[in-house]
Amino acid sequence: MIKPQGIGMTSQRTRDRLVQRLRAEGIRKPAVLDAIGATPRHLFVDEALASRAYEDTALPIGLGQTISQPYIVARMTELLLEVSPGKVLEVGTGSGYQAAVLARLVDKVYSTERIEELASQARQRFRKLGYRNVRVQHSDGTWGWPQFAPFDAIIVTAGGEEIPQALLEQLAVGGRLVMPLGGRTRQTLVTVTRTPTVYERVDLEPVVFVPLIGDAG
């Protein structure tokens, strides 16, 4: 029997339309657009929301959390790729979608999630979909993941008031961190690039993320 929603909503064509839209919105790196086009976002949300998976919008993933808007995923990924990272740390696995996009572009993704249920769901997804270069840990990511530091890039997908010190320390020289910084309801997307002598911060556009909750956040 053909499912009522049909394959149409989740087909390659639907995904390609999202890619076109992101391009129109200013995402330029072909590698990033290709990775978005190749990642089945509908498998990272609840089945009931699958038909909306290729809209450029954040969607609820339960437990008060959200899967980020594709534009933001693409934008943050572009900013990270500017330093050609091999090893990336993500704070806030959530659905696992951002990690899955990164997994197509870098050697290894280490992702931390403070909600155990989300961490284990994401792990199952990666196993089922055959992502072998993503490792998920249930932990407070404001402490980073010291065992695998330093990281060439660090992406924080929840908004905090300040950058956790541990993350700055675990950023490799030449590496870059990208994170929403600000209050609980609104933040500014910020990049921090570590040079041999300083951390260079650049403030970019306004964004809206769920809060970073942690000891060092």
The residues annotated as belonging to the active site are 68
**Of 92 and 175, CB closest to ligand SAH:** 92
For binding to ligand SAH (CB under 6 A), which residues are involved?
Answer: 65-68, 91-92, 94-95, 97-98, 112-115, 118, 140-142, 157-158, 210, 212-214, 217
* CA 177 to chain CA mean position, Å: 12
Instruction: Classify residue 49 by burial, with Cβ atoms within 10 Å: 0-12, 13-18, 19+.
Output: middle
DSSP E strands: which ranges in the chain? 59-62, 65-67, 87-91, 108-113, 134-138, 151-156, 171-182, 187-194, 199-207
Nearer to ligand SAH, 33 or 76 (CB): 76
Nearest of 182, 185, 207, 165 to residue 79 by alpha carbon: 207
Q: In terms of CB distance, is 175 or 209 closer to ligand SAH?
A: 209
Smallest distance from ligand SAH to CB 25, Å: 18
Query: Amino acid letter at 28?
Result: R
Shortest reach from residue 154's CB to ligand SAH, in Å: 12
> What Å distances lie between residue 70 and 15, 22, 162, 198, 206, CA to CA?
11, 8, 24, 32, 16
> To the nearest whole angstrom, how small is the minimum distance from the Cβ of residue 4 to ligand SAH?
26
Query: For ligand SAH, which is the closer residue by CB, 136 or 192?
Result: 136
Write down the least CB distance from residue 116 to ligand SAH, Å. Answer: 10
